[in-house]
Amino acid sequence: MREPPDLRVKAIHPLAWVIEPLAGEASLVVRAMFGGKAVYVRGRFVLYLAAKEEPWRGVLVPTEREHHAALIADRPALRPHEILPKWLYLPEAAPTFERDAAWLVARVRAGDGRVGIEPGGAKPKRKRSR
């Protein structure tokens, strides 16, 4: 007798196609985070896929501010995210979204140091003295 289908199967993220070219990367890790998908390659947090309402609808690029100008020069549709300005944002509504998202994934595959951050890079908060 066949088992009934599991109706609890999670829906696939609408932007999952963006990271399909990374499927062969042995170090690829995709984790649910704040309603989106955090993408890690070689231990670095490289992309965040968001499919909510603007400004959370597209690809966020965790990167250091020192790399913003160079990445924007390469892909003008990128811009600092309005809520998380330390990261760049490629809105899904951009006319070049598919091409630019593919370019970002190619940069990740190539190990471009401008794309991604080391996880846990937040600086520890200093305790206030009383």
Residue 17 lies in a domain: no
Is position 120 within any domain?
Answer: no
Q: Output the pTM of the full model.
A: 0.83
Any domain includes 1: no
pLDDT 10s digits, 68-104: 999 999 999 999 999 999 999 999 999 999 999 999 9
Range of the domain at 64: 35-109
**Residue 19 resides in a domain:** no
pLDDT at 13: 84
> Please, which residues bridge with residue 115 across strands?
none
Q: Which residue ranges of the chain lie beneath pLDDT 70?
A: 1-11, 121-130
Q: Give one DSSP letter per residue of 64-102, joined into a string.
A: -GGGHHHHHHH-TT-EE-SS-TTSEEEETTSTTHHHHHH
Pairing between strand 57-61 and 88-91?
A: antiparallel
In a domain, 115, yes or no: no
Q: How many domains does the chain have?
A: 1
20 falls within a domain: no
Other CB atoms within 10 A of residue 94 CB = 19
In a domain, residue 9? The reply is no
Position 59 in a domain: yes
